[in-house]
Chains A and B, each alone.
Chain A
Amino acid sequence: MPKRILSLFRNLFRKGAIEQELDEELRSSLEALMQEKMKQGLSQSVARREALIELGGIEQVKERVRAVHAGRFVEDLARDIRHSLRQLRRNPGFTAVAALTLALGIGGTTAIFSVVNGVLLKPLPYSQPGRLVEVGLDLPGINQFNWPLSPAEYFAFREQSRTFQDIGLYYTGFGGNLYSANVTGLGRPEHVPALGVTDGVLPILEVTPLFGRLFTRADDQPGSSDVVMITYGYWRSKFGGDRSVIGKTIDIDSKPSTIIGVLPQRFRFLDMTNLGILLPLRPRTQRGYNYFAVARLKPGVTPAEANADVARMIPIQLERFPEAAKFFKEARIVPNLQPLKQYVIGDVGKVLWILMGGIGLVLLIACANVANLLSVRVEGRQQELAIRAALGGSRGRIAGGLLIESLVLALIGGALGLLFAYGSLRVLIALAPSDLPRLSDIGIDRLVLLFTLGVTMVAGLLFGSMLPLRYAGVRAGTGLRETGRSVSASRERHRARSALVVIQVGLALVLLVSSGLMIRTFQALIQVQPGFTAPAEVETFHVHFPPEMIKNPERLVRMDQAILDNIEAIPGVSSADFSGAVPMDAGAESDPVLVKDHMLQGQLPPARRCFWVSPSFFRTMGISIVAGRDLTWNDILNKRPVALVSENLAREYWRNPSDALGKQIGGSPKDWRQIVGVVGNVHDDGISQKAPATVYWPITDADVFLGSPAFAIRSGRAGTQSLMNGVQRAVWSVDRDLPLYQVHTLDYYYSKSMARTSFTLAMLALAGGMALLLGIVGLYGVIAYSVSQRTHEIGIRMALGAQKRDVLKLVVSGGMSSTMIGVGVGVAGAVALTRFLSSLLYGVKPTDPLTFAVVSFVLTGIALLACYIPARRATKADPIVALRYE
């Protein structure tokens, strides 16, 4: 029998082998003919010619033989497909269950694959994206990585690089303080996300304007006239697609700027989706590591070569800025060039591949289920198969027919699955964490369709090939004889089905353990005190003052104070503040902080998280004051040299928080400040990260943050539109041209820091649920079927005096033994696989015994139920009826 199936597979998939054999056959025939002719005394060349003539053209013969095979193949295939469709129509219940099971598996796999494809596989939408790199720096000396560049490096790399075709500098702002500008003069004042670029950036991405022109190097010169490019979306929404927009002037941060170009619709800068305006980047100084850089490599240059090239140029910098030599030496600057795609994607790949693996397991379970269903049904068709065998149907043909039937079923499931994927993809994108890059690239494209087709065929072959091996071999006699009166299910078949149950239970356990570990992670995360209290009651928003106003800090502080006064007058507001950043919004910077009584000679002070805050920041956020006092308006208005530090920073230097009071710290050796208070730790980097040692400076110390402060309001009405309406009025009564933006509650940032965990948790739990459902349905089906097959046997047992309990035990133990093996296999599999999860876990080990125990216990319990129900039905059988049933 295996030989037959082999020949079928050879026919289907190994056309080459047939060709080769035919070729050999004809060659040997030609030789035989030549031999014959040479025996008659002809010379070799004449014999060869005559033999070729007699053979009648090798290619023509081959062609006719091929036609025999092909015709046969197509004929058989068409007949098998017609037959399969007839069979499937005849059993609508079976077909529906099998197709839906497959649709679930294939649809889920397709949906996740479209995410993997859109985020990880698809190239970036620029021409020759493989040559684009993000140029950054690593400073291992002070433990800083992925640093941006300063203008000085940009100029040096631009002029001296041997590997870059060109390099461009761009500015997006940082974290919660994204670059943006107030646009006035177009109706309501608006706060528009902006991007600063040097002249090289757009040509490096090979972007051409829809119309108008790009920036030139002249536009980058400080003091040249103010120009702006606008994106397609902004142009459509603000100018209604009016082509005469070029040359018009709009006020950007109160500076009249001329529109010089409109970008095409498909233009997207890295992963920025709602960009409105592009401005020329005009760095005012050479220093300041505030800018990112993108470069296009010369053709044929590898990233490693480019990296070496940048490493060569870094020391040149040293000579140009002797005053920074110490910093350079300490920081040990090295280049960090990443392919642009990798830079955009970040580290999300791991999560997505884990989800892909998870959903793949669900598909396997679905396949095992369908294989079980099919095997039961084919068993019911033994008579038909035996008749076909008796009538001369070769076993290969019958096996092929069953395989075709499986494939047809798989294709139906695949088509349904595709519909399911279309639907679920929307939900998936809506659920996706906000840090999932390239969301807009996710969709069902040609590669996804190809993938679905491939998965469908593989699935069909997978569950289909289990059948022919077992059933095509029905011997004509046995099949016919057995049909009328069945003996208890043959041991071999039962064992095969039990093996499928073992696989299903095992795979389901792996998935359930994975989701269990994620649940434990989530639990551990929400147990962590973030450092602030009741974040859902804190409303935050940003206000952006045009740069001119920053030149007058006193006026800004007065305006901020006026806004605060107005806000505090709103009913239900208990306190309000403004600061440079909101905890967890990624807006706070890390800067070196000197400590007077812990100065180390010749060593850079470590970088500390720095917040610039107003009084009542701690009260509004709910950050506890551990020692000393809060900041006061007196400190702010009189510019007193004070600061507060976090408890962990205080303990690091002085053991006891209260010992930190009165100590001197500073951003530079000329600017010392006295610590007046120590406050609780805040997990600013996200709940799963350690709380960074933090310094809180008075907000008046930082012009930049004073210019775009984040306001925070503690109120029971946080998150409501009515509160924000009141806030809007409060701000506008101070200045009508100030738009509010990034309006979020503190809880938003808090949840966002766990977004990836909750997304992974939700997806794995979904996969685990599907696996559990399918696995249990499979187990139930097998037990129920074996009970129905054993009615006769059970009847005899009961007639011979077996008690219900014995029968119950008999049936349940059959199912439970497969389950227990499955659990064992699953535990082993999970131990091997969960370590891939470890980077996503928090506060729980990948081999957490509790999770393993609970999942195994629950799974076993549910399996017991799935066995018990059919077993109970078996005991209810009346022995007389059971015996007569046949």
Chain B
Amino acid sequence: MEQKRTDLLRGTLDLLVLKALSLEPLHGVGISRRITQVTKGAFQVSFGSLFPALHRMEESGWVEAEWRSSDNNRRAKYYRLTSAGRAQLKAEERQWNQVVKIMAAAVQST
């Protein structure tokens, strides 16, 4: 049971990260802030989960990293979606919408 929950959470985190990167490349802190922003403060992603997730997604070829200067002229590692990442985002969105529909129907049915 425990295992399933983390899988679900990890899936959620991946989706949120991919979504956050779909507009523009961001660095780690930027991604965290963007997620907080789009979930209106409901999700506070810990960096202890975010960085491993980013490295895993990089290995899977969903995101690419690049060192760039940030706004205040400091070097930071920026992550950008790859085409595989975009496909993954679409797939996960579709999957998530299905889950939501099914869950909603299931909850309302009683």
Contacts and interface: CB of A to CB of B under 8 A. Distances in A.
Interface string B33-77: 000000000000011110110011001010000000010101111
A392 B59 contact: no
Interface string A4-45: 000000000000000001001110110111011000000000
A56 interface: yes
Contacts of B72: 35
A60 interface: yes
Given A24-B77, A32-B76, A64 B48 contact: yes
B27 A28 contact: yes
B48 A32 contact: no
A800 interface: no
B29 interface: yes
B77 A32 contact: no
Contacts of B27: 28-29, 32
Given A32-B29, A56-B46, A72 B76 contact: no
A68 interface: yes
A57 B46 CA distance: 11
For the residues of B in contact with A, the DSSP-based class is helix
A392 B49 CA distance: 26
A597 interface: no
B51 A61 contact: yes
A25 B28 CA distance: 8
A69 B47 contact: no
B84 A56 contact: no
Given A61-B48, A65-B51, A28 B84 contact: no
A54 interface: yes
Nearest to B77: A25
Given A28-B76, A29-B29, A33-B29, A55 B55 contact: no
B75 A28 contact: yes
Interface in B64-99: 70, 72, 74-77, 84
- Most chain B beta-carbon neighbours within 10 Å: one of A21, A24, A32, A61: A32
Interface string A135-166: 00000000000000000000000000000000
Contacts of B48: 56-57, 60-61, 64
A394 interface: yes
A32 B70 contact: yes
Contacts of A178: none
Nearest to A32: B29
A549 interface: no
A67 interface: yes
Contacts of A35: 72, 74
Contact of B52 (A24, A33, A67): A67
Contacts of B51: 25-26, 61, 64-65
Contacts of A55: 47
Contacts of B46: 56
B56 A32 contact: no
Given A32-B27, A56-B47, A69 B59 contact: yes
B80 to A, nearest CB: 15
Contact of B74 (A31, A54, A64, A69): A31
Interface centre among A21, A61, A72, A392 (most CB of B within 10 A): A61
A25 B47 CA distance: 12
Contacts of A57: 48
A69 B55 contact: yes
A102 to B, nearest CB: 32
Contact of B61 (A60, A61, A394): A394
Given A32-B29, A69-B59, A392-B84, A64 B52 contact: yes
A48 to B, nearest CB: 15
B105 to A, nearest CB: 33
A464 to B, nearest CB: 22
A57 B47 CA distance: 9
A537 to B, nearest CB: 80
A68 B49 CA distance: 11
A68 B28 contact: no
A57 B77 CA distance: 19
A25 B30 CA distance: 13
Contacts of B52: 61, 64-65, 67-68
A35 B59 CA distance: 30
A68 B59 contact: yes
Contacts of B75: 24, 28
A490 B74 CA distance: 49
A394 B83 CA distance: 13
A21 B75 CA distance: 12
Contacts of A29: 27-29, 47, 76
Interface string A849-880: 00000000000000000000000000000000
Given A33-B29, A54-B47, A56-B48, A72 B74 contact: no
A68 B77 contact: no
Given A68-B56, A72-B59, A392-B84, A28 B47 contact: no
15 contacts: A21-B77, A24-B75, A24-B77, A25-B51, A28-B27, A28-B77, A32-B27, A33-B29, A35-B74, A54-B47, A56-B47, A61-B52, A68-B56, A69-B55, A392-B61
Interchain residue pairs A-B with the least CB separation, the first 5: A32-B29, A25-B77, A64-B52, A28-B76, A56-B48
Interface of A: 21, 24-26, 28-29, 31-33, 35-36, 54-57, 60-61, 64-65, 67-69, 72, 392, 394
Given A31-B74, A64-B49, A65-B55, 20 more contacts: A21-B77, A25-B51, A28-B75, A29-B29, A29-B76, A32-B27, A32-B30, A32-B76, A33-B29, A55-B47, A56-B47, A57-B48, A60-B48, A61-B47, A64-B52, A68-B52, A68-B55, A69-B59, A72-B56, A72-B59
